[in-house]
Structure 1
Amino acid sequence: MYEYAETAALRIAYDVSGPAQGQTVVTVHGWPDDIHCWEAVLPDLHQAGCRVYRPYLRGFGPTRFRSPDRPRSGQIGALGRDLADFIEALDLHDVVVAGHDWGARAGYVVGALFPERIRALIAISAGYSTNRPDSEVPYPLAHAYWYEWYVATARGREMLERDRRGFCRYLWTTWSPGWEIADADFDRAATAWDNPDWAEISAHAYLHRWGEAPGDPAYQDLEHRLAEPPPVRVPSLVLHGERDGDNLAETTEGKDDLFAEHYQRILLPDVGHFPPREAPAATAEAILRLTPTTGP
C-alpha cells in the first residue's frame, strides 16, 4: 500500500522504506519509468542506514490532481515545484535528492530555487541547462530527441494514447543499446502509465519545452527564474551513462559553472539511459558519496 502527501496541486503517492530514523533520501523517477526503477538500488541504501522516499511524479501511478480544472502540465517548473511541495508536505529536512531523467530536472529546480531543506543532489542522465525553448540543439542531439518533436504532431499524441507501451518499449531499447530489458520489469513500470493524465502531461512536457504550448500560469514566475539557469546551491553529483541514447553524454559536459557548491560528474562505461536499472550498485555508490551513513 502506498502513502500519500497532500500538496496544493496533487495527492502524491509514494513508498517509504528503510530505518525510521535514517538519513532521508528522496529518489525521483524519470520518464517513461516509475518508482520501481530504484528497486535494485534500495538494498545498499537501506544497509547504509537511509530512509528512502519514492514519490510518483504527476501523471504517473496513483498520483492524482486535486482539481479537475488544473492544467495537466509537464513543464519543468511544475515538476520542480511538485518535488519541493512533497518535501515540505512531509516536513522532511536535510534531504538527499536523487533524481533520474525528469526526476533529475526536478532536482535541479529544488537545488537551485528551494535548497533550504536539501543536503545534496545526485542527478542522473540529464544535464542542467537553460529552460529557454530557443536554446541551441546540436544535430546529433536533435536526432536523439526525435520523440519530443513527434509528440508535437497529432499522430505522435495518438501514439502516446493508443500505444504507450509499444512507444515506450522502443524508447527503452534505443536509449540503452545492448541492455537486455526484463519483460517483467518493463511491464511493472508500464502500469504507472495507465494514469489518466499520463499522455497529456507527457505531450505537454515537450510541447512546452520547445515553445509550442503555453505553461500553467501558476508556474510562470518559476519558469522566468529558470530561463537563465540559477546556480544549484547544494553539493551535487551528476551520473551519466556513456551510451545514453537519449540525453547524450555530452549534455552533462562543461557544466561546472552552474553549481555553486561541490560538483562532480561521473561517467559509467557501457551503460545507457537507465543507470538505476542497468547499474544499480554504481548508482547506489554515487548516492552514498553525498549521503551521511550509519550502516556497516
Structure 2
Amino acid sequence: MTAISHISTPLLDIAYEEAGPRSGRPVILLHGWPDDARTWDRVLPSLHGAGLRTFSPYLRGFGPTRFRSAATPRSGQLTALAQDALDLATALGLGKFVILGHDWGARAAYIATAIAPERISHCVSLSVGWGTNHSDQALSLRQARNYWYHWFMALERGAEAFRRDGEGFARLMWDSWGPQGWYSQAEFAATARSFANPDWTQIVLHSYRHRWGNAEGDPAYDPLEIRVRSAPVIQVPTLVIHGAVDGSNDQAMSAGREGVFSGPYRRFVLDGVGHFPSREVPEPVAKAVIEFLEHHR
C-alpha cells in the first residue's frame, strides 16, 4: 500500500495516496460509499504505466481524513465533496487535472467538472449518470427498490440501525450490489477500517437524507446547490463506465444522457459487472480510461 500523505484545505486535513511518475498528467481519484481509496488499488499500476500521476484522497468522514474544526457542519452534501476535491487540487498546486470518481466520487466529479471546467481536462465516472442527483427526479420501480437503503436511512429506525452496525450495513451493500462472491473478506476488511472515522456515520446519514430533501444542507454550499440543481451541461471530454448488473444504480440510470454533455462523450457498459468496476474488472476499466485520455488529448 502506498504511504498516506496529508494536506490542509480550508476545512479538512485530507489524507491521500500519491503515486506514479512525478512528471505525469495528474489524476484525482474519488472513491464512493461504502468504500475508500483501496478501490483503486488494481487500476493504479496500469494508470502509472501510462504516465499518469495519481492522487487518491479519503473523502470527508472516511479513513484518516479529518475536519480541522469541530464547528464545521458534518455535511455529506455532494456539492461539499466536489468542493473538497477542488480544494485538494488547489492545495496540491495542480494545474489542469483529470478527475475520476466512483459512486459518491463520481457524483462529486461531475459537479466539480460542471462548476470548474477550466480546471478539469477530463471527467471519468464509474457507476453513475450525470443529472441524477436531484430530489424530484423520476425513478423507475426497479431503481426505487435498489435505493431501499436511502429510504431506510431517512427513517429514525433506519438511522439507528446504521448507527448500531454501520460496518454490517456496508457489508450488506457489497453483498447486494454485485455478482455473488465478487469480493474477498480480506478485501472488505481492509476497506472497512476507514469506516471507523469518527464522522463517518454522521456524514453518511446526512448525505442520503439531504439528497432527498430530508435534511437541511450546510448554507455554505447554497450557491453551489443552486448552480448544479439544473444539471448544467458538462463541457469537457467525459467517459462513463457502468456495470450491467449494478445492484445500486441500475445501468439505465446512465443511459440516454448524451444531451447533458457538449464535449466528447463515451459510455461503456460492462457485462456481468456490478457496482464496483474498478475492483471487479480493473484491467478493462484501466484500459478504457487510458484509451479515452489518449484519444481526447
On the 8 A contact 1:23/1:291 being kept in 2, the answer is no
Aligned to 2:293: 291
Q: Given the two structures, how large is their TM-score scaled by the length of structure 1? A: 0.96
> 2-side partners of 1:243 and 1:130: how far apart?
18
> 2-side partners of 1:47 and 1:34: how far apart?
22
Structure 1 residue matching 2:16: 3-state secondary structure? strand
On the 8 A contact 1:122/1:286 being kept in 2, the answer is no
> 2-side partners of 1:285 and 1:156: how far apart?
40
Written as runs of structure 1 = structure 2, the 5 A alignment for 1:29-40 is 29-40=31-42
> 1-side partners of 2:211 and 2:167: how far apart?
23
Q: Given the two structures, how large is their TM-score scaled by the length of structure 2? A: 0.96
Q: 1:3 to 1:240 in 2, by over 3 A?
A: same
On the 8 A contact 2:132/2:253 being kept in 1, the answer is no
Aligned to 2:277: 275
Identity across aligned pairs (percent)?
46
For residues 184-234 of structure 1, give each alpha carbon's deviation from its aligned partner in whole angstroms, at most 9, with x where no partner exists. 110011000100110111011111111011100000000011111111121
Q: 1:130 to 1:36 in 2, by over 3 A?
A: closer
Aligned to 1:128: 130
Q: Which consecutive unaligned segments of at least 5 residues does structure 2 have?
A: none
Structure 1 residue matching 2:15: 3-state secondary structure? strand
Structure 1 letter corresponding to 2:157: R
For residues 130-154 of structure 1, give each alpha carbon's deviation from its aligned partner in whole angstroms, at most 9, with x where no partner exists. 5431221221111000001111122
Aligned to 1:107: 109
Structure 1 letter corresponding to 2:9: T
1:207 aligns with one of 183, 206, 209: 209
For residues 99-125 of structure 1, give each alpha carbon's deviation from its aligned partner in whole angstroms, at most 9, with x where no partner exists. 000110010011111122211011000
Aligned to 1:5: 7
Aligned to 2:81: 79
> 1-side partners of 2:133 and 2:173: how far apart?
23
> 1-side partners of 2:264 and 2:294: how far apart?
15
Aligned to 1:143: 145
Measure how far apart 1:177 and its partner are. 2.4
> 1-side partners of 2:237 and 2:94: how far apart?
18
> 2-side partners of 1:272 and 1:130: how far apart?
19
Written as runs of structure 1 = structure 2, the 5 A alignment for 1:102-251 is 102-251=104-253
Higher mean C-alpha deviation, range 87-96 or range 254-263: 87-96
Q: Which consecutive unaligned segments of at least 5 residues does structure 1 have?
A: none
1:60 aligns with one of 59, 62, 66: 62
Measure how far apart 1:291 and its partner are. 2.7
Higher mean C-alpha deviation, range 4-13 or range 268-277: 4-13
RMSD: 1.3
Measure how far apart 1:292 and its partner are. 4.6
For residues 143-166 of structure 1, give each alpha carbon's deviation from its aligned partner in whole angstroms, at most 9, with x where no partner exists. 000001111122222222221121
> 1-side partners of 2:48 and 2:227: how far apart?
36
Structure 1 residue matching 2:26: 3-state secondary structure? strand
> 1-side partners of 2:181 and 2:253: how far apart?
21
> 2-side partners of 1:29 and 1:70: how far apart?
22
On the 8 A contact 1:175/1:272 being kept in 2, the answer is yes
> 1-side partners of 2:255 and 2:182: how far apart?
27
> 2-side partners of 1:272 and 1:131: how far apart?
20
> 1-side partners of 2:259 and 2:281: how far apart?
28
User: How many residue pairs were aligned?
Assistant: 293
Structure 2 residue matching 1:5: 3-state secondary structure? strand
Structure 2 residue matching 1:13: 3-state secondary structure? strand
